[in-house]
Amino acid sequence: MTDYTAIDFTPLLDAAGPASDGGRDTGEVVTHSYVRDVALPSGGVLALITLDNGHDHTRPNTLGPRTLQELGAALDALAARAGSGEIRAVAVTGKPFIFAAGADLSKVSTLANEENARLMAQYGHFVLGKLGKLGVPSFAFVNGLALGGAMEIALNCDYRTLDSSTAALAFPEVFLGLIPGWGGATIVPNLVGIEKAIEIIVSNPLKNNRMLKPKDALDAGLFDVMFGAASFLERSVRWADGVLNGAITVERPNVPGKMERLTKWPIAIKIARDTLKGRIGTAAKSPYLALDLLAAAKDGDIAAGFAREDEALTSLISGDQFHASIYAFDLVQKRAKRPAGAPPKELAQKVQKVGIIGAGLMASQFALLFARKLRVPVLITDIDQARVDKGLDYIRGEIDKMLEKGRLTPDDANQVRALVQGTTDKSLYADCDWVIEAVFEELGVKQQVFAEIEPIIAETAIIATNTSSLSVENIGAKLAHPERLVGFHFFNPVAVMPLIEVVKVPTTNEATLATAMEVAKRLGKSAVITADRPGFVVNRLLAKVFGEAARALDDGTPVAAVERAYAPIGLPMGPFELIDLVGWKVAAHVQDTMVGAFPDRFYASENLHRAADLEQVVEKDKHGKVVDLSKAAKKALILGTSPVAEEEILRRVQEGLANEIKLMLDEGVVAAAEDIDLCMILGAGWPFQAGGATPYLDRVGASERAFGDKFHHPPIAGTHG
Ligand SMILES: NC(=O)c1ccc[n+]([C@@H]2O[C@H](COP(=O)([O-])OP(=O)(O)OC[C@H]3O[C@@H](n4cnc5c(N)ncnc54)[C@H](O)[C@@H]3O)[C@@H](O)[C@H]2O)c1
């Protein structure tokens, strides 16, 4: 058992610097938090701490070393008051809508040395542990957003109430390369049982940081009771009063018993470990460390659990993956919201009617998105009525599904349905102020469509193309007004993929670019501005990923070995699994484009084309991982007899990517390396723990090997979670 009172935390506090009431990026809770006495209905006083950094809800409270210090001092004072019988209980709540957003990760990420990392882990335990040693019961009144360390404040209290309108509730640590190390990894399984604990601490964060719904958090047993927002504080106080005077007995049926610990526990951990390995491989450390902690929590020894959390957190905070995660998180939180090179949004033109040319796979998906998000009329067209109808049927079917799942209200569903119309008569496009094409990927067809549409629409209406590989400038070469031309590259599936590459050609004017950025934002997507270069960002780099895999396959390397070779990169799936997902035809096409553009650097594989003609190319295991070629593929593909060693494959793809990214930056495809990373995180699922592509390539020495230098990144600040 660690005696936290015997530890000298001065070096940590010195490293954190003085308390601050929050410049834009510090967001300390410190200076505006306050304690007030609340009279309990049955007599006596409850001391209520309100966490408040003095800013509105757009800047949540976070927990840095100084914040913890202040909380600790408040708790010491309250323990003294409890000792003299002045107060009957202590409760913690937050400013409106916000309990707290967890540890101040920008502070944590500056604690580069291992000793400070350890002190940070221990300081959390030291301070939050005071909540259980006040001499009177402690309550958490969780009135709003509570993430990570904030949830651990609540868990360290004796009792917990929850506001039913709380929008964000989660343990995002594993998603960020950490573990819930201020008590979460130990208390949660001992409160809600092992299966729920795995879901909450490991599975949810890996599902793109999925939040807990308040009702689910209550049902799991994380909270004792839930109240509506209107009278939350008042009812929480009354409930606490009931607990204090014995009128309310708190039951916790989910607390695991002996049998669960003996039988269910090890099985659940084993299944979780196998599933994790199958799903994400072994490159990411934090999910496995979290599982180790959950496994060990079986002994029910909380103090021992806290000591284990300290060890795990120390190794993660002082390791690479956490810092990479913070970098990635920061990009997604900040750079994605203020894209580099975007003109002032005041220049954006109004979009009151959208025209979509094509009603195929992509067009029908984004027609629905435009209607749902912009709530303006959307007109789709295709070469014949049957194709238009097919597109409309798809859209209506999707609206029905959303209605069933409660993601659209009946009124909204009716409205969206009415907004989407189909026609074969392009003259109806006359009053559209935004037209986007998603017809066949053929230059001639796309030019022809633009030639048809331009005389019909207003001179200033934006003309966009969803091409994935053609030159946007060439597509618009015959336009009379090429200043309103822009590339607007969605990814499939449109509803899921968060990225749009906005392609600027030399003629694109500021108003067009501003409009494209604004439209992307209103569609709920992150946009990155790219130059009109082959494959833009994502497809160009995926072509490297695919090309090296295809080259190894062509030489005779088994697909499973190629998948394994890529595993250390930590991509969500191996290269062939990814190709199988995007479609072998699409992959072959992307490959051709890149080989056409840069024949010296990209690898052309006939086998990709042969595979594109097959119904099934690969065999998969129960986790969806590619394990072998299908029988048909074994027959159809022409494979060599010189398999490549796994390390060699990895080396080739790492260096190939580093070299290509360097060239892209030199060509000015994007403004900075961060944009490449943002594109790869949002458009290719590059894992947070690798920090996007460039920090990873630096870390493994690939940049050094490829071009004798590293990529350059600015420092990171102001992140929490
Ligand atoms: N499939 C993907 O994953 C993906 C991803 C991003 C971008 N894209 C790009 O989106 C575009 C469309 O791809 P898709 O996969 O939706 O193809 P698709 O074949 O499903 O749809 C294309 C549609 O365009 C129609 N069309 C052809 N000529 C037309 C014309 N003159 N007027 C009106 N309609 C016409 C076709 O009948 C067809 O319905 C391509 O440029 C492609 O590169 C595709």
Q: Are residues 462 and 547 in the same domain?
A: no
* pLDDT tens readout for residues 39-90: 999 999 999 999 988 887 778 888 888 889 999 999 999 999 999 999 999 9
Q: What is the pLDDT of residue 29?
A: 46
Give every strand in the sheet of 169-170, ordered side by side. 98-100, 145-147, 169-170
Query: Side chain identity at 289, as an amino acid letter?
Result: L
| Residues 27 and 174 both lie in one domain | yes
Mean pLDDT of 91-114: 84
* Contact 363 CB / ligand 1 (< 6 Å): yes
438 lines ligand 1 (CB under 6 A): yes
Residues near 496 by beta carbon (within 8 Å), at least 6 away in sequence: none
Cβ 587 under 6 angstroms from ligand 1: no
Residue 490 near ligand 1, beta carbon < 6 Å: yes
Measured from the Cα of 467, ligand 1's closest atom is 41
| Dihedral (Cα; 76, 77, 80, 82), 10-degree rounding | -100
For residue 557, what is the domain's CATH number?
1.10.1040.50
Q: Please give the share of the chain, as a percent, with pLDDT higher than 70.
A: 97
How many residues in the chain? 721
What span, in angstroms and rounded, lies between the C-alpha atoms of 7 and 417? 64
Atom 6 of ligand 1 has which residue's CA nearest to it? Answer: 491
Q: How far is the CA of 420 from the centre of ligand 1 (A)?
A: 18
Ligand 1 site, residue 605, Cβ cutoff 6 A: no
Contacts for 545 with CB less than 8 Å, ≥ 6 apart: 566, 571, 575, 578, 653, 657
- Look at residue 721 and tell me whether its pLDDT is greater than 70: no
467 lines ligand 1 (CB under 6 A): yes
Give the distance (Å) from ligand 1 centre to CA of residue 516. Answer: 20
| Pocket lining: 387 vs ligand 1, CB cutoff 6 Å | yes
Residues 548, 485 within the same domain: no
**Same domain assignment for residues 310 and 389:** no
Residue 638 lies in a domain: yes
Range of the domain at 623: 538-668
Ligand 1 binding pocket includes 439 (Cβ within 6 Å): yes
Q: Whose CA is nearest to atom 38 of ligand 1?
A: 360
Q: pTM for this one? A: 0.84
Residue 381 is inside which H or E element, if any? Answer: strand 378-381
pLDDT grade for 293, boundaries at 50, 70 and 90 = very high
Of 505, 531, 557, which residue sits at a domain end?
Answer: 531
pLDDT at 718: 38
Ligand 1 center–CA 542 separation, angstroms:
20
Q: Residue with the nearest Cα to atom 28 of ligand 1?
A: 439
Residue 162: its H or E element: strand 159-163
Distances (CA, A) of 696 to 280, 420, 533, 553, 689: 17, 44, 24, 25, 9
Q: Are residues 461 and 548 in the same domain?
A: no
Where a domain ends, among 472, 500, 531?
A: 531
Q: What is the CATH number of the domain that holds 157?
A: 3.90.226.10
Q: Where are the beta strands (DSSP E) in 250-367?
A: 354-357
pLDDT at 104 over 60: yes
Q: How far does residue 438's CA lie from ligand 1's centre (Å)?
A: 4
| Domain count within the chain | 3
181 and 132 assigned to the same domain: yes
Q: Are residues 523 and 547 in the same domain?
A: no
pLDDT in tens, 398-425: 999 999 998 899 999 999 999 999 999 9
Cβ-contact 410, 327 below 8 angstroms: no
Helix (H, G, I), strand (E, B) or coil at 422: strand
Residue bearing the CA closest to ligand 1, atom 9 = 467
What atom in ligand 1 is closest to the CA of residue 439? 24
In a domain, 712, yes or no: no
CA of 526 to the centre of ligand 1 (A): 22
359 CA distance to ligand 1 centroid (A)? 7
258: left (phi over 0), alpha (psi -120 to 50) or beta: alpha
Q: How sure is the predictor about 19, in pLDDT bands with cuts at 50, 70 and 90? A: low
Looking at the predicted structure, is the pLDDT value of residue 31 above 60? no
Of ligand 1's atoms, which has the minimum distance to the CA of residue 583? Answer: 3
Does 492 sit in the ligand 1 pocket, CB within 6 Å? yes
593 in the same domain as 513: no
Residue 327 lies in a domain: no
Predicted pLDDT at 20:
57
pLDDT in tens, 359-381: 999 999 999 999 999 999 999 99
500 with 545, same domain: the answer is: no
Question: 621: CA distance to ligand 1 center in Å?
Answer: 32
DSSP secondary structure code for residue 211 in this structure: P
Q: Is residue 354 part of a domain?
A: yes
> Is residue 251 one of the residues assigned to a domain?
yes
pLDDT classification of 24: cutoffs 50, 70, 90: very low
Last residue of a domain, one of 668, 689, 715: 668
Mean pLDDT for 667-671 is: 96
Q: Is the dihedral of CA 330, 334, 337, 340 positive or negative?
A: negative
Per the domain annotation, does 690 fall within a domain?
A: no
Q: CATH number of the domain at 497, please.
A: 3.40.50.720
Question: Does 688 map to a domain?
Answer: no
